[in-house]
Amino acid sequence: MSLSHMEDMPVSHSGPQGTHRPPWKQWFLYSTIVILLFLCSFSTLILTFLPLKTASEPCVAKFGPLPSKWHMTSPKLPCVNNTADWNLKILRNGLYLIYGQVAPNTTYKEPAPFEVRLCKNKDVIQTLTNNSTIQNVGGTYELDAGDTLHLKFNDEHQVLKNNTYWGILLLTNPQFIS
């Protein structure tokens, strides 16, 4: 049997001449671009119909480091009320930035495990468990009037209070179009 007739056969069966299927990478690129354009359009619509008004007066509260007491920047229009050490009550709805640092006491050798919790009302929103290095606490949260925030420690001696603090800053007040 001679194989000479197979030398002239095409290796793959392609469609009609001039048609070319794009490779999967090109299809993936095009679909990614379409999805990104859709997300940008959707975000623009949301920001158009739900404008955020920046806070007219800065509202900042900070607790610590030693001497530990609350420092407020705007007593005229307060957005928070300090209820106790390490505790705050939110007075105005808005988007808040919570920030701070926790310095663990590396000489602490009691049986209670190192744990620092940032709580909103009765819910834990962040937990720190690394007792070998200074850690940041906080984030951006939408808070409502009446919410309470507090920073809790398993044991007061687990942290160095001269290097531990936390604070809150009102970023925006949501304004809904009626």
Class of domain 61-172: mainly beta
Q: Which residue has the tokens 């939408």?
A: 142
C-alpha span between 96 and 94 (Å, rounded): 6
pLDDT tens per residue across span 9-46: 555 555 555 555 557 677 777 777 878 776 767 666 55
pLDDT tens per residue across span 42-60: 666 555 555 444 445 568 8
Supply the pTM of this predicted model.
0.63
Pairing state of beta strands 135-143 and 94-102? antiparallel
**Closest among 106, 107, 120 to 166, alpha carbons compared:** 120
